[in-house]
Structure 1
């Protein structure tokens, strides 16, 4: 399989798995970390563009299945997902693929995602208090948890015979 076809197929697979996770409509403490995990796994396996693409689709799916009650937040979630993936990617690119780079990438990406969503619900988009609360600290925690899950999953996959180093 050519590299571009492989990338396309893997990206589609990550999108499909992420859509299924969202369609299950599990509580946010489960769905959030799993979706964030998929963003970073797609970036690890395919590249940052794939992670960003998955992150662009997730808020639309969340809105369609009823997880996201405020459609006006979709552009901000799309942007914050992209920044989360880029932060993770840059942390690993600049500081290495070991613990330091991964931790810095997760923390940096999660912090910027949290800040962007907090700014959006506090100053840009008028949302109910419950939605505003859900778009702040829980987003930071689910982004960090999802990042840790992604790195652990990638390590396990690498040990199972995959050739790339994560």
Structure 2
């Protein structure tokens, strides 16, 4: 049972990475900058703290963005789907990063499934105006690919420097 409990380093890293992710959102930069950076932080958190850490940050960030007014109020119905998209993004990446395909290729299916969850909900489940639906479609895929690829590169070396057991 003890092996399932995170150690103090992991908890500290998770808190720091969550704070950095929220700070990135708080800058209120254009979506073309913020989107890849948040996805970068989701994958980096998954690499450095484990899949559960990435999923945790992925659950928190959409709610904070909504509560802080960073995410437009008309997108509030999409928050649970954004959370689900973030969760599968981190989950799939976390599962595939340890396979022979490695971190680089793990980003692709993780990004595509995230896009399908968020884009599918925006297209078929939510009744949003067309401009808001467009925000939840292909930009999500591009942001996930760019942020994930950058995080895979940085995370690989950072994890080695930190001697993290998460990356093998």
State whether structure 2 residue 14 is matched by structure 1 residue 11.
yes
Which one scores higher on RCO, CA 8 angstroms, separation ≥ 6?
Answer: 2
Displaced runs of 4+ in structure 1, greater than 3 A? none
Contact 1:22 1:65 in 2 (8 A): no
C-alpha distance after superposition, 1:107-130 (max 9, x if no partner): 101000101111111111111211
Please list, as runs of the form range in 1=range in 2, the aligned pairs for 1:88-103 lying within 5 A after superposition: 88-95=93-100, 100-103=101-104
> TM-score if structure 1 supplies the norm length?
0.89
Please give the alpha-carbon distance, in whole angstroms, between the structure 2 residues aligned to 1:26 and 1:64.
17
5+ unaligned residues in a row in structure 2: which ranges?
none
CA displacement, residues 84-114 of structure 1 (integer Å, 9 cap, x when unaligned): 001111221233xxxx322331010100010
TM-score by length of 2: 0.88
How many pairs were matched up? 160
* RMSD value, Cα: 1.7
Q: Deviation at 1:53? A: 0.3
Give the whole-Å Cα distance in 1 for the aligned partners of 2:54 and 2:137. 22
2:49 aligned with 1:42, yes or no?
no
* Structure 1 position 65, deviation (Å): 2.8
Could you tell me which residue of structure 2 aligns to residue 150 of structure 1? 151
